[in-house]
Amino acid sequence: MIHRILCICFLSLVMKVQLVAQNPDIPNPVEGKCYEKCLMNAQFEYFYEQILTKPASKRAVVIPAKFDTVIEKRIKKEASKKLIPVPAVYETVSEQVKIKDASTKFVIKPAVLETVTEQVKVKDASTIIEVIPAKFETAVEKVIVKEAYTKSVYVPAKYETVEEKVLVKAAYSELTHVPAQYETVTEKALVKEAGSKMEVSQAVYEKGTEQVLIKDASTRLETVPSIYGSSLDTIELVPATATWVQKKADKKSKFKNSKNNFIWDIDTIPAQHLVLSKLTRNGCPEGYQDDGAGCVKTFDIAAQYIAKPILRIKQEATTKAIESPAQYETRTYQKLVSPATTKKREIPAQYTTRTYQKLVSPAATIKTEVPAEYTTRTYQKLVSPATTKTIEVPAVYETRTYQKVKTAATTEKIEIPAEYKTRTFQKIKTPATTKSVDIPAEYEMLTTYKLVSPAKTSLVDVPAVYKTIRKKRLIKEGGISESKEVICKNKMTPELIGYIQKALRDAGYNPGPVDRVMGSLTKSALIQYQLENNLPIGHLDVETVKALTVN
């Protein structure tokens, strides 16, 4: 609202003075400058003041009752006896059990053979007659070409192929082992002797309860605030001030606006007050006692009990003997039916067939008389007659190897002892019994609370309560100031207006678009800037231009 009023003022109070030396309201006027009267805001200062909202008093504080924690030992389960079965004690007994009878075993010792090597005739010895021819020399005679001589013709020996049996392995006896015969026998063997086992029936308990005190009887003090009444107190926050308002002007007013016949006048704004409510102590609620600081009431607190469970013996423990039968196991072993023997078998000799050449007729020579030959030519003259040479051809032998019995096969009788198995079984050493064990009573630790001092009240000073308020004090009243230097109309150029718009925008105000026109948004932003910075209001004065740092 004040922005609208100041905009109207800005339009209605444009009073241009070029050099009014004759005007006494303008001190020391300078030629070429313009002056106008402007509105000035009232100046205030703010200060803080503390006011009493609640007077000092005393408050009753309840000191609760004090209890000691007492730990008591209480029976939870009565003492009793418990029968513990003591099992029978067994000892491990080992014994030898025959699983196979003694017997006889015949071990065959085979015949011992030796390798015999001998020379066997393959071809009989013979004689070979080698013919040595006669030697001649060349002689020239007219009559005898070759003298008569005797010619020997060699007749080789004759052989025939003969087959015969040759011993390779001599005959011998072989003993075969006939094993002993057994039969399977099954019988029962004692593993664990008969005994007795003690069965224990434990004691029977029944549940019961008992009342146990856990907290003594006491009293409780309850404190409530006193009843207060309220009273009102008025405090001036802002004193009365005067402000400028637009009113209808009379014809003689020099500040009259010729267009709408309005005038700016001072209107008084009344002071602002704060109404505070104060509290006044009026007493205590019904049933409560006033102890001078507060309201107290005493309540009795009954003692606290709890029901604790407890076990009582209903039936004592007993024992009962249970007979355990002997334990057997089935064992199986081999029993001799017939002992081992041997069986003799004859093994015949082994032969092989060999083939060799047998001499039928030895080699020989046949002498033939060759008569002399005569001619008138060159002939061979006998120097030495032809002869024969007898060469002995030895018989041919081959080496043969065969097995010859050195020691005949025999049997050896070996005694096989009976076989035994170590059998282990449990033998009762001490029969089962029972042992009585005392079971102590079971206790539990119970925590109870014992009253040491009852509850009481204590007076505590409650300080007064103050409230800090902010007050406004007038330093200087507002109104129309003396004439201030303003920008003349002929210097109010669009360029200057553009600078003013930019400076207002940079300062955080909204002058509208920078269109170099002093429009309503620009005027409103200028007046707001002047109001917030305690500058003359209503004109574009030099002081405002300097504040905007516009040259």
As a three-state string, the secondary structure of 165-190 is EEEEECCEEEEEEECCEEEEEEEEEE
pLDDT of residue 201: 79
pLDDT band at 481 (very low <50, low <70, confident <90, very high): low
Is residue 366 a part of any domain in this protein? Answer: no
- Is it the case that residue 502 has pLDDT exceeding 90? yes
Q: Is the pLDDT of residue 510 over 90?
A: yes
In-domain check, residue 66: no
Q: Which residues contact 212 (CB under 8 A, 6 or more apart)?
A: 74, 305, 306, 307, 308, 446, 448
How many folded domains does the chain comprise?
1
Q: Can you state the angle between helices 520-532 and 2-12, rounded to 10 degrees?
A: 110
Q: What is the dihedral of CA 12, 16, 20, 23, to 10 degrees?
A: 10
Q: What is the pLDDT at residue 508?
A: 93
Q: Which residue has the tokens 């032809």?
A: 386
Q: Which residue has the higher pLDDT, 328 or 197?
A: 328
Mean pLDDT, range 319-325, rounded to an integer: 81
- pLDDT of residue 14 exceeding 60, the answer is no
Looking at per-residue confidence, does 544 or 172 come out higher? Answer: 544
Q: Which residue has the higher pLDDT, 101 or 243?
A: 101
Residue 220 lies in a domain: no
Residue 254 has pLDDT above 50, yes or no: no
Average pLDDT over residues 333-359: 82
pLDDT (mean) for 520-533? 90
Note the pLDDT of residue 243. 63
Contact 207, 332 (CB under 8 A): no
Does the pLDDT value for residue 6 go beyond 50? no
Cβ neighbors of 119 (< 8 A, separation 6 or more) are 397, 398, 399
pLDDT for residue 260 is more than 60: no
DSSP, res 496: H
In a domain, 90, yes or no: no
Q: Please say if the pLDDT value at position 10 is more than 50.
A: no
Higher pLDDT, 3 or 392: 392
pLDDT tens sequence across 116-162 = 888 877 787 877 777 788 888 887 777 677 778 777 777 787 888 88
Question: Reduced to 3 states, what is the DSSP secondary structure of residue 367?
Answer: strand
Q: Write down the pLDDT at residue 501.
A: 93
Can you give the residue range of the structural domain that contains 18?
A: 2-41+478-547
Report the chain's mean pLDDT, rounded to a whole number: 78
Q: Is the pLDDT reported for residue 38 higher than 60?
A: yes
The confidence band for 416, taking pLDDT boundaries of 50, 70 and 90, is confident
Which of 445, 193, 210, 224 has the alpha carbon at shortest distance from 328? 193
Is the pLDDT at 186 greater than 70, yes or no?
A: yes
pLDDT category of residue 9 using cuts at 50, 70 and 90: very low
CB atoms within 10 A of CB 347: 14
Residue 28 lies in a domain: yes
How far is residue 294's CA from residue 474's CA, in Å, rounded to a whole number? Answer: 45
Q: What is the mean pLDDT of residues 181-210?
A: 80
- Confidence bin at 246 (pLDDT 50/70/90): low
Q: What is the pLDDT of residue 111?
A: 78
pLDDT, residue 312, reads 79
What average pLDDT does range 471-496 have in this prediction? Answer: 80
Q: Is the pLDDT of residue 451 over 90?
A: no
In sequence order, the β-bridge partners of residue 117 are: 401
Question: How confident is the model over 246-258, as a mean pLDDT?
Answer: 55
- pLDDT score for 327: 85
Of 150-154, 296-300, 358-362, the range with the lowest mean pLDDT is: 150-154
For position 529, what pLDDT does the model report? Answer: 92
Rounded CA gap, 191 and 330, in Å? 10
Residue 57 has pLDDT above 90, yes or no: no
Compute the average pLDDT of residues 11-35.
54
Residue 1 has pLDDT above 60, yes or no: no
Q: pLDDT category, 517, cuts 50, 70, 90? A: very high
Predicted confidence at residue 265, as pLDDT, reads 64
Confidence of residue 493 (pLDDT cuts 50, 70, 90): very high
CA distance 280 to 411: 142
Q: Residue 117: what pLDDT? A: 86
* 141-to-57, 138, 144, 458 alpha-carbon distances in Å: 202, 10, 6, 197
Whether residue 516 lies inside any domain: the answer is yes
Q: Is the pLDDT of residue 257 over 50?
A: no
pLDDT at 244: 62
Mean pLDDT of 526-550: 87
Does a structural domain hold residue 522? yes
Which H or E run includes 518?
Answer: none
Collect all residues with Cβ–Cβ distance below 8 Å to 330 and sequence separation of at least 6.
186, 187, 188, 189
Across residues 372-395, what is the average pLDDT? 81
Share of the chain above pLDDT 70, in %: 87
**Model pLDDT, residue 478:** 65
CB 277 within 8 A of CB 465: no
Model pLDDT, residue 498: 93
User: Across residues 384-393, what is the average pLDDT?
Assistant: 82
pLDDT band at 499 (very low <50, low <70, confident <90, very high): very high
Of 222, 219, 216, whose CA–CA distance to 300 is shortest? 219
Count other C-beta atoms under 10 Å from residue 456's C-beta: 13
Of all residues in the chain, what percent carry a pLDDT higher than 90? 6
Residue 24 inside a domain? The answer is yes
